[in-house]
Structure 1
Amino acid sequence: MDRITNIRVEEKKYHDQCYDTYDLFEPGSWLHKPVTTVINLINQYKDQEYISILDLGAGVGRNSIPIAESIKPRNGKVVCVDLLESAIAKLMSYSQQFGVEELDPMFEVNLSTERMIELLKRQFAGWEIEQLIVKSLAFEINRNGQPVKLTSDCITFVAKKS
């Protein structure tokens, strides 16, 4: 097995174990609350009707479910994308549990940060880009009894149709 495939296999094991051990919004894991930046951003659009949100790396819905709850009365929709089928399955279950069926789950395509930003800018050409933030994330986890550092870039991209 090549290095990248092995990393993906181990990442899946870690997330599956986390999703099986912790419930969404249950204290004790990183699933216990949504990301503050995301909630602050959605509050900026509280008066918008027919808002559409794209959540890449949605996981089981720790951000997308509170967003969907917020935009539900305003005819909004959240499109959720994730690499793991197990995350999408849990997301669909949690969306029913929390009464937010405005979620449209899909699977993720793995892209570099630069390529993703390029695609977003091209897709939303002519729109007003209100925020573009790239934040490097690092997580220390235990994998098979060994400490492992997971790193990724988190892209916050907010565009408003002019």
Structure 2
Amino acid sequence: MSQANFEEARQAEEAYHSKLYQENDILEPGTWMSRPIPLVMELLDRILLHRSDVRIMDLGSGAGRNTIPLAQKLQGNESRIIGVDLLEEAVQKLQENAEKYGVQRFVESRQGDAEHTDFQENHYDYIVACGCLEHVSSEKALREVIQRMQKGTRLGGIHCIAMNTNIEEVEQETGKAVEPLIELNLQSQQAFDVLNQAYEGWNVLKEHSVLQSIEEEKYDTPTEFRSQSITFVAQRLK
């Protein structure tokens, strides 16, 4: 993707999510933010069996769809969850939601780009990256982000990655294809190949893919976002 197209895709995503956060609340019916991802919650339960104090990074946290429910499960005095998002609106909403749901002592909200986020070395027990890694600039950037995530993970720590692949956009009324404005549109197998290579030596706990569609208002006319959503979970063994 050229730099001009990357910037256009980034601006379209920012506008779409800004409008979404302004008009809708997390954990309320009406949007895909109405509940956390079940697997994200299940993996935290697995970690909590062995640790009382847990350090979590939610990369691309948005307004806290996953961050807040995760924080509600934390109890240890040293437990923390850091939510990182590119959008200022998301950062502010996450802070507000942490207070609304009474979990502000566990939650830290940071503004930042997933592609350039720093991870404190050997620090995190759980890193969630759902719906954000397809917004990096290239396959090379994806590999580099994963390397930094891995360096920031403690022994036994888990990564939960969900990415949209094979992305298409069609007009809702006509079914006409629209050129999707997405920064990194990998084919599913290509994405799985990258992930399996990057996580060689880790224990791969889950690989899964499913078709999904979401109605969006990101373009001049309402569209249907179609993708193969892939999930990849791995645990650090050494």
Same fold (TM over 0.5): yes
Counterpart among 102, 107, 118 of residue 103 in structure 1: 107
Counterpart among 116, 120, 136 of residue 163 in structure 2: 136
Counterpart among 123, 139, 148 of residue 152 in structure 2: 123
- Residues 132, 50 of structure 1: CA spacing in aligned structure 2 closer, same or farther, 3 A cutoff? closer
Deviation at 1:68, TM superposition (A): 0.8
**Is 2:82–2:107's contact at 8 Å kept on the other side of the alignment?**
yes
- Residues 133, 77 of structure 1: CA spacing in aligned structure 2 closer, same or farther, 3 A cutoff? closer
Q: Which amino acid aligns with 2:62?
A: G
Q: Distance in 1 between matches of 2:91 and 2:226?
A: 21
Deviates more, 1:13-22 or 1:92-101: 13-22
Deviation at 1:65, TM superposition (A): 0.6
**Is 1:83–1:109's contact at 8 Å kept on the other side of the alignment?**
yes
Q: Distance in 1 between matches of 2:12 and 2:59?
A: 20
Gaps spanning 5+ residues in structure 2: where?
Answer: 116-140, 168-212
**Is 1:59–1:91's contact at 8 Å kept on the other side of the alignment?**
yes
Once the two structures are superposed, residues 20-47 of structure 1 have per-residue CA deviations (whole angstroms, 9 ceiling, x without a partner) of: 2211111110110001111111111234
**Is 2:60–2:114's contact at 8 Å kept on the other side of the alignment?**
no
Once the two structures are superposed, residues 62-110 of structure 1 have per-residue CA deviations (whole angstroms, 9 ceiling, x without a partner) of: 1111111100x22211011001110001111111000111111112224
SS at 1:33 equivalent: coil
Size of the alignment, in residue pairs? 158
Q: Distance in 2 between matches of 1:67 and 1:13?
A: 27
Identity of aligned residues (%): 23
Counterpart among 36, 41, 44 of residue 42 in structure 1: 44
The structure that has the greater radius of gyration is 2
Deviation at 1:146, TM superposition (A): 4.7
SS at 2:73 equivalent: helix
